[in-house]
Chain A
Amino acid sequence: MNTLEVKNLTVSIEGEVILKDFSLTVPKGEVHALMGPNGTGKSTLAKVMAGHEDYEVESGEILLEGQSILGKEADKISHAGLFLAFQYPLEIPGVSIANFIRAARSARLPEGKEINAVEFYKELYEKMDALKIERKFTARSLNEGFSGGEKKRCEILQMSMLDPKLCVMDETDSGLDIDALKVVSDGVNLMRSPERSFLVITHYQRLLDYIVPDVVHVMYDGRIVKSGDAELAKELESKGYDWIKDECATTTTT
């Protein structure tokens, strides 16, 4: 069973084509890394999968555990099991982390069902401890005045509290120092299970030293141009993306 299947996806924004006949399959329980130079369409893919309405999908399919999620509203896609850890998490003034996660959990319950507050806080505190987030953060406004590292840890906290089937992590490593990177990676590794899949979008190989992927894809100009195992990431790190660009240029000309 595949958790994610993206088939021949072509997406544009304001007339510019960003994803070009893009395809990707992530089987259940696997961690895939999506790498590539800036402006190649990685974040666009993440947002389109999550149901952002600014993009125009010209053709293609996105299936989550076999069900089409393309064109659904963002909240419905979330309920279907996709979580997107944002590259730039937004600040929501006056809404505490605890209340926000509680509201997100409640939104998944059938009508009339309520969250058990005691169990909720027990679980929340355990997960905060694991991510080395201080207790006082529960009462702070979501992401407001947080440092880059605090925002990313808070994204992973939400991700673990919402128990998604597919975790899409968009440049989670950007803005993190090495200690924060380790904490975030530990949090992610704890969530790895045969039931859950990950799509880790990153520009640098660094994160993949801690979250070791099963498959690495290299994206360039709106499509995947190379796939391999974890070694591919290391090769990229030493050779740089120009190597891929050159290789692409050669393949297109031949």
Chain B
Amino acid sequence: MSDTDLQNKAIQVDTEKGNFKYPENYEFDAGVGLTEDTVNYISDVKEDADWVREFRLKALEIFRKKPMPTNWADKDLENIDFDKIRYYLSKGQMPARSWDDVPDDVKETFERLGIPEQERKFLAGVEAQFDSEASYSHMNEDLEKEGVIFCGSTEGLNKYPEIFRKYFGKVIPTSDNKFSALNSAVFSGGSFIYVPKGVKLKQPLQAYFRINAENFGQFERTLIIADEGAEITYMEGCTAPKFETTTLHSAVVELVALKGAKIQYITVQNWSSNVFNLVTKRGMADEGAEVKWIDCNIGSRLTMKYPGVILKGKGARGEVLSIALANDGQHQDTGAKMMHLADNTTSNIIAKSISIGKGRSTYRGQVHMPKHLKNCKNNTECDALLINTDSRTDTYPAITTRGEHNTVQHEASVSKVSAEQIFYMMQRGLSEAAAMSLSVNGFVNDLMKAFPMEYSVELKRLIDMEMEGSVG
């Protein structure tokens, strides 16, 4: 088969697993559009402290002032109509501690997504967010006894201000970008986690974000603090049904790894193709600490996400491993940021993108190493795989290194699955879809080895599904 044939095959995104919804039935609804009233409604419902309400209102102002970043980003951003979005929908304020107490439709949703089963199998705790708020939140009692806190943003700010207020909005300031400001104005849900000194979580904590309502915006806020020598792995998954209208997901995730702590944050998102996914994620690593982002972006209409690490203390380490799969009509605009602010800091970025059909993937990287620092190292590798000839990939690496005592290494490659490779594999008996799947899996194979087993299995399944839909 020729490249042209491959290229012309109709491409459909398969979001089979997530593509279902239940009727809407909400106790709290902030209505459509965004004004001071919307923000005040959310603050009222949440019984926010005054400083939180002020924080939100100030953020709204900043959001209004900041222009859309269309001077460098995808012009498609202009198609988000902020006046038509619903900013807050929930069935209640307190998440259930047992699945039995979760409303039936919500419970069924998460059961179809396999969350309770995963919890039984390999998780230390789960939070399941349905639209604006968590419907379920549970953690092993042993961890609770050790002083680990795992709750939602509202509970975190209201109940434990002495722990969370210090870092809230500090790793990512409200004014970082237009969407961090939006999130700061209307945030709800997300996970606030504190791991005390020296406590090492053997099993991951997981959050699952589910959008159920149409024209909805999900704005979860996550803050994870690992105190000195603590270790935690956190995983998030996300899905939404396929709507005709656009849906917005705009999260802010801040990680704080104090001296010698380790945080690993894993995302496997499988958004439907109507979702604008505009997320700001950044971690701060103190002396000898490590922050690692593992980021898999599948689906969505436009994803803009550049997880970063501020290497603040000596000997801190930062890592971003990312996989992006852009199917027809999708743009995965992803990358990484590494800010070296101390001596002997090291960072590693490995980004792999796959573009199928007219799908487009973009890598944006930023590595900053000022002149006065010594013995800093960065390694950046970005590889792109194109499945059809009109797929597109762009790379915008920005590496600023000054001084002579630091090393950076940058490698980039673009490869293509050729019609001859597909023919070769089909000659051995593989179907066209299986052949494509296998080459994509081969392309991400070395990176997948860094993932926990359960997630690499899930990721492989998602890739197979995308490929299944990508041939005629």
Contact = CB atoms under 8 A, between A and B. Distances in A.
Given A74-B423, A89-B424, A162-B428, A107 B442 contact: no
A17 to B, nearest CB: 19
Nearest to A78: B429
A75 interface: yes
Contact of A92 (B2, B5, B421): B421
Interface string A92-116: 1111000111011101100000000
Contacts of A95: 438-439, 441-442, 445
Contacts, number: 82
A141 B442 contact: yes
A52 interface: yes
B398 interface: no
Contacts of B445: 94-95
9 contacts: A50-B423, A75-B431, A77-B427, A78-B428, A94-B445, A95-B441, A100-B428, A104-B429, A105-B429
B415 interface: yes
A77 B429 CA distance: 8
A100 B441 CA distance: 11
A84 interface: yes
Q: Name, among B427, B439, B443, B446, the residue most crowded by chain A CB atoms within 10 Å (CB to CB).
A: B427
A77 B442 CA distance: 25
B444 interface: yes
Interface string A56-96: 00000000000000000111011100011010011111110
Contact of A52 (B418, B423, B438, B442): B423
Contacts of A101: 428
Contacts of A126: none
A44 interface: no
A172 B415 CA distance: 27
Contacts of B441: 94-95
B73 interface: no
B426 A162 contact: no
A10 interface: no
Interface of B: 1-2, 5, 415, 418, 420-421, 423-432, 434, 438-439, 441-446
A123 interface: no
Nearest to B439: A92
B424 A86 contact: yes
B437 to A, nearest CB: 9
A92 B429 contact: no
Nearest to A74: B426
B405 to A, nearest CB: 36
Nearest to A53: B1
Contact of B430 (A51, A86, A89, A104): A104
Nearest to A141: B442
A103 B430 contact: yes
Contacts of A103: 430, 434, 438
Contacts of B421: 90-92
Given A53-B2, A54-B2, A95-B445, A90 B428 contact: no
A157 to B, nearest CB: 12
The 4 tightest CB contacts between A and B, nearest first, are A94-B442, A74-B426, A95-B442, A94-B445
B443 A162 contact: no
Interface string A162-185: 100000000000000000000000
Nearest to B415: A93
B425 A92 contact: yes
A100 B421 CA distance: 13
Interface of A: 50-54, 73-75, 77-79, 83-84, 86, 89-95, 99-101, 103-105, 107-108, 141, 158, 162
A158 B428 CA distance: 8
B153 to A, nearest CB: 40
Nearest to B444: A94
B401 to A, nearest CB: 30
Contacts of B434: 103, 107
Nearest to B445: A94
A103 B445 CA distance: 15
A50 B427 contact: yes
Contacts of B439: 92-95
A75 B430 contact: yes
Contacts of A78: 426-429
Contacts of B430: 75, 103-104, 107
Nearest to A75: B426
Nearest to B430: A107
A92 B443 CA distance: 9
Given A90-B424, A100-B425, A103-B434, 11 more contacts: A51-B426, A52-B423, A53-B2, A53-B423, A73-B426, A75-B430, A83-B427, A92-B438, A94-B441, A94-B446, A104-B429
A129 B442 CA distance: 26
A241 B446 CA distance: 49
Contacts of A100: 425, 428, 438
A53 B446 contact: no
A77 B426 CA distance: 9
B352 to A, nearest CB: 10
A91 B2 CA distance: 18
A75 to B, nearest CB: 5
B443 A93 contact: yes
A104 B423 contact: no
Contacts of A158: 428
A99 B432 CA distance: 17
B446 to A, nearest CB: 7
B467 to A, nearest CB: 13
A7 to B, nearest CB: 22
A94 B443 contact: yes
Contacts of B431: 75, 107
Nearest to B425: A92
A53 B6 CA distance: 11
Nearest to B435: A75
Nearest to A168: B427
Nearest to A86: B424
A51 B428 CA distance: 12
Q: Name, among B1, B421, B423, the residue most crowded by chain A CB atoms within 10 Å (CB to CB).
A: B423
A95 B425 CA distance: 11
B2 A74 contact: no
Contacts of B5: 53
A53 B426 CA distance: 12
Q: Name, among B1, B429, B434, B438, the residue most crowded by chain A CB atoms within 10 Å (CB to CB).
A: B429
Q: Name, among B5, B415, B421, B442, the residue most crowded by chain A CB atoms within 10 Å (CB to CB).
A: B442
